Structure 1
Amino acid sequence: MTDQSMLKQPDADTKVPDKSLDKTTSIVSDANGNTAITREDGEVFTIDRKAERALVWKFDLRILPLLSVMYLFNALDKANLGNAATAGLLEDLGMENNTKYNILLSIFFIPYVLSAPFMAMIGKIYGPSRVLPCMMFTFGTMTLLTSAAFNWGGLVALRWFLGMAESAFFPTVIYYQTTFYRRGELARRLAIFYAASNIAYAFGGLLAFGVFQIEGGALPSWKYLFILEGALSMTFAVVAFMFLPYSAAHAKFLTEDEKKLAFHRIQIDSSAIVNEKFSLREASRILLHPTSWVILGIEICLGVPLQGVSLFLPQIVARLGYSTVQTNLHTVAPNITGAVMLLTLAFASDYTRWRFPFVALGFFWTFVGFIIYASINVLENLQVAYFACFMMTWGTSAPSVLLDVWYNNNIANENRRLLLTSIGVPIANLMGLVPSNVFRDKDAPNYIPALATTAAFGATGIVLTLSLGTWMIFDNRRRDKKQGEGGTLPTGVRGMQRLAFGGPMGYSDKPQYTAPLGPPSYETATKPVPEKKKGSVRRWLEERKDRKGSKGEEGSSASKETTPEERPPAYD
């Protein structure tokens, strides 16, 4: 277990927050992208576009590389079982029966799903910069210990704890990045981070190719693979613990002015409260929104092809008639192009400011790739079949990132954002149970039922994604018509969250808006703001009731135009 003292929040050289929020009278952007924030007391804080770009560049150099390497090892330690299975692991540990191997793959996902929300809460409470390296050190340890497994039961136990250690890694990283990057910057940064998993699968194939050349050693060659990858993971976890900043306010590589800039740019872009104190009750309200369940449905449709390619690409490629060594080598190119396609779609998504069309495009490639592979004679159409493998990796890479960015862009509340991510991502990984049980020995080498099942999930994902995206388009038009497109947004903290789930890509670039109750000051928000005692929905109902009662003979508010403050938040 991790010593709790390692996880304690670092002391901040800031004032203890009070319960008041500074008043903001206006937030105005000019044609060059510079933003002026004016407060009631006359203080003006300017967000200079050039200074902001320099700040983001610092984040890109100091944070993104560390997270990317961490995720590379996360993916390696999760997927190396497939490489080891081609080098004698099954025979050495008595798993000639493929049922045991499928159970071994499936057991990983049970603690992965059960532990993820709780591990994510720990990440929110103690800070991702402390919890992420601890997770990495733990899953590196489990990988290293896999080399000491001498039977199937021992390997099952290690896979269980590996799933627990990796459960909240990806959701916590997503949340961590949202505290540094604006919504319009997030997709391509998260894509660069996620591309590490594709590189990991490619690098894993190359690494396995090299390690499996070891002959005559004291241990079977597959054990050296686990020793090497586990030791590297543990070593880099220590490096990450030393260099990841707790938050922008605690980043030693930023000046005081840059820390204030980092705070204000995130404040006006998304969150009502930056570094908000965690509240499970408040976070759970995200599950009351129907759109959350549609998102989880899309995660399910994504998870089956994603895990199918991750776990069984070596077996799929082996159907083309390659040897064990050649099979691992031929998994490299599809994974590399998958990373390239991911980056291409992510940059295109940020540039066009759309999310769902690119998510649907990824599902389309998944569907077509698996259908082609299932419907042709791969030995007679070798090049077409191998190209279908490329389409599989293209289709499973991009939707994972863009889907997570899509709904994270649309949820202003940090706690709700973290909770939905910590449920959605593990559910997608839980879907690894499906390919683990449909890729059966009796269907080898064609695996037609497995390929058809995976394609069906891809088709369903297309339908759900296009349906949700279309609904958001019409909902945005309804909101614009009701509230006007002149640049005035609803007032108050809730008003700043009006677009909580309001668009195909989910954020507004209105050139000017006013907000009488604006973001808290930098000094107030560098520590968590005390949570309100009442939930937002109950508070809104009580306030509305009080307003009706106070109007007396003026009549019911229903007969008048509803003001922004009187509307319930879409996703407050």
Structure 2
Amino acid sequence: MDKTTQDHVERITSDPGDVPQKHIGIDEELRKYVVAADNVQVDEVTSKRLRHMINKRVLIVMVGTYFLQSLDKNAISYAAIMGIQKDANLQGQDYSWLHTVIYFGILFAEYPTNIIVQKVPIAKYLAANIFLWGLTLTMTCFGFNFAILAALRVLLGIFEAVSQPTFLLLSSMWYRREEQAHIVTYWFGMNGVQGICGGLFAYGMSHVHSPVLKSWQFLFILLGSITCVWSMFVMWWMPDSPMRAKCFSESDRVLMIERVRANQTGIQNRSFKKAHLIEALRDPQVWLYVLIQIIIQIPTGGLGSFSTILIKNFGFTELQTELLSMVNGGVQCFVLLTSAWLSRRFSQTVIFQLVFLMPNIAGTAVLMAVPISHSTRVGLLIGYWCTLSFWGTTTLLMSLLSRNVAGQTKKSISTASLFFAWAVGNMIGPQVFQSKDAPRYFTCFSVHMGCYGVLIILLLTLRWHLKRQNSIKDALQEQDWSANAMNLDNAFDDLTDRENLSFRYHY
């Protein structure tokens, strides 16, 4: 284990030969690989080789898919400055509602999706949903009124709901705990990359003129078609699980499973356990994740939806706005990669969530205090870029849940709850931007300031709670040698983080 991981994650060592290998509660498909791996050791050189193989088959799919999801979901923002509001006769809060209704679809699909991905081949289910959302996006070219656009956005949300919970599951299934913050950042960081590419893409599309199709129609047709083609690649390229990865040798599959044994979070279990559901509902850790996620997404959801409109309101032209949105993406990428690196380097997650919250407060203060004029537009733009540091807080929260919740049923419920909260926050976010408050949106930024204050309290509470749980487990293990001896033998036995006394929380 890396030295940087040892500060907050302690493993109790014992001689594996002293403890019976019972593997109680283990998934049957997984069992033969776990038994084969019981006496296998994975050295660092082998681990790097395996990680490289996994990256080529799994990480590339997560990164590419999330890039397209972010691009497709935000295509409506680029269409807004191409004239869709006028062509579809959008009035008042109609545009805000188009950003909100997609999350109705996500809310509807989130819990069923999290249950389904535990029971079906993940790669096939993911590919099917990607194809359907690509088809839905293509059909958006027919959206010449609010009702059609809203219905298509709801469908888009239903199909896109698969991505984030599936990727968190894949991250914990294939990667070590100390790697997961970076892995989550790589695919979640595609929000920033799509900002760069999307701005350039929209800039090019805005120059397309046709007597038959509007530029925003070309945008939806092209993006939807690309997504449909990508779904076919996902179906062909990505394995469903380490056990079913026929692209790898049998011996490498055994090594890949052994490689993640120390996670203590398991890989797969298709049985639904009521006791684990009850534990998830009673665990303060899960509720804190949910509350933090809602509070985080209210500002980020609104700022993401109104980014192009805000920049244009500062006094920039349509083409300048499209190009400056590329810088937005660059700032997001920098924040996401930096936050993940700092978290791993110093073995501190919640502390750096708080650190990356500070520029948001400063940037929001600038947007509230500085009047809009030609001479202040650059300063306002910099203030807006400061608010993008919030992305570091978001991605670190997802990596916390991925590393800190064990037991497949509990993880499924917790992940669904996290993204249910994500959808709720993103539904509220655009509605905070009221058209009557344009172009300053003073009320909106006041709400954002309140969110930052609440978030500081919640993050400090989460850190205290996780640290306290580790102390309680340390005390229990000192009293009970048999708990000490458990070590990694029960790592795949579908124990929850609370049931497994060898489990330690990251904070």
Normalised TM-score (structure 1) = 0.77
Aligned pairs (5 A) from 1:144-543: 144-271=138-265, 273-279=266-272, 281-285=274-278, 286-379=280-373, 380-395=375-390, 397-484=391-478, 491=482, 514-515=485-486, 518-519=489-490
**Identity among equivalent pairs (%):** 20
When residues 480 and 536 of structure 1 are mapped into structure 2, their CA distance, relative to the original with a 3 A threshold, is closer
Cα distance between partner residues in 2 of 1:42 and 1:156: 51
Rounded Cα–Cα distance in structure 2 between residues aligned with 1:99 and 1:401: 29
8 Å CA contact 2:176, 2:262 repeated in 1: no
Aligned length: 476
For residues 443 and 267 of structure 1, the distance between their equivalents in structure 2, rounded to whole angstroms, comes to 53
For the structure 1 residues 83 and 410, does the alpha-carbon distance in structure 2 shift closer, same or farther, using more than 3 Å as the test? same
Tell me if the contact between 2:406 and 2:497 (Cα under 8 Å) persists in the aligned partners.
Answer: no
Q: In 2, Cα distance between the equivalents of 1:218 and 1:41?
A: 63
CA distance in 2, matches of 1:431, 1:338: 19
TM-score after normalising by structure 2: 0.87
Q: Residue deviations 1:475-520, cap 9 Å, x none?
A: 4334434534xxx9875xxx5xxxxxxxxxxxxxxxxx63289248
1:99 is aligned to 2:93? yes
C-alpha change, 1:25 and 1:453, in structure 2 (3 Å) is same
Indicate yes or no: 2:75 matched with 1:80. Answer: yes
Name the CA shift for 1:569/1:370 in 2 (closer, same or farther; >3 Å). Answer: closer
Alpha carbons 1:59, 1:180 under 8 Å: kept: yes
Helix, strand or coil at the partner of 1:108: helix
Q: Deviations over 1:314-369 (max 9, x none)?
A: 11111210111211211111221211220111022122222111222233332322
Greater share of helix: 2
Shift of 1:280: 5.8
CA distance in 1, matches of 2:106, 2:153: 10
What 5-or-longer segments of structure 1 have no aligned partner? 1-22, 28-38, 496-512, 541-563
Distance between the aligned counterparts of 1:338 and 1:42, measured in 2?
40
- The runs of at least 4 aligned residues of structure 1 exceeding 4 Å deviation read 39-43, 488-491, 567-570
Q: Secondary structure at the match of 1:47?
A: coil
Flag the structure with larger Rg. Answer: 1
Q: Deviation string for 1:229-254 (max 9, x for gaps)?
A: 11001110110111111111222332
Report the equivalent of 2:49: 54
Q: Measured at CA, do residues 476 and 376 of structure 1 come closer, stay the same or move farther in structure 2, by a change above 3 Å?
A: same
User: RCO (CA 8 Å, sep 6+): is it higher in 1 or 2?
Assistant: 2
- Give the 3 Å change call, closer, same or farther, for CA 451–140 of structure 1 in structure 2: same
Tell me if the contact between 2:61 and 2:238 (Cα under 8 Å) persists in the aligned partners. Answer: yes
Given that residues 103 and 423 in structure 2 are in contact (C-alpha distance below 8 angstroms), is that contact kept between their aligned partners in structure 1?
yes
Partner of 1:115: 109
CA distance in 2, matches of 1:42, 1:146: 50
**Matched residue type, 1:514:** A
Letter in 1 for 2:261: Q
Q: What runs of 5+ residues in structure 2 fail to find an aligned partner?
A: 1-15, 21-33
RMSD after superposition: 3.0
Supply the distance in 1 between the matched residues of 2:431 and 2:261 (Cα, whole angstroms): 46
The question of whether the paired residues in 1 share the 8 Å contact of 2:123 and 2:238 is answered with yes
Residue 215 and residue 43 in structure 1: after superposition, are their counterparts in 2 closer, same or farther (change >3 A)?
closer
Distance 1:52-1:489 versus aligned 2 partners, 3 A rule: farther
In structure 2, do the counterparts of structure 1 residues 42 and 462 end up closer, same or farther at CA, with 3 Å as the change threshold? closer
